[in-house]
Amino acid sequence: MKEELSLKTTTITVPSVTYAVKIKKILERKNIVAKLIKIDTDNSKEGCSYGISVSSSNFFDVVALLKQNGIEYSVYNAK
């Protein structure tokens, strides 16, 4: 059974929506709830970015999966 996205979330950013969709599919196969989001360009250093919001409790599992799949990422901190 999939868990619900907790109140505390972490957003992983990637340079394109293609990567964000790929990551979301990888996480869903591992039963990790992920929400695709567009990062506000006013708050993003890279301009237009996309991200995946995940439960903070899953952060280390998510990072491990991204590394296993050779996906570059950054952690987004809204201001």
Expressed in percent and rounded to 5, the helix, strand and coil fractions of the chain are 35, 30, 40
- Tell me phi and psi for residue 32, to 5 degrees: -105, 120
Sign of the dihedral defined by the CA atoms of residues 60, 28, 23, 12, in that order: negative
Burial of 51 (0-12, 13-18, 19+ CB in 10 A): buried
Domains of the chain in sequence order: 9-76 (3.30.70.1530)
Q: Digits of tens for pLDDT over the chain (79 positions)? A: 455 555 789 999 988 899 999 999 999 999 999 999 988 766 555 566 889 999 999 999 999 999 999 998 998 865 4
pLDDT given at position 78: 54
- Tell me phi and psi for residue 39, to 5 degrees: -80, 135
pLDDT given at position 14: 87
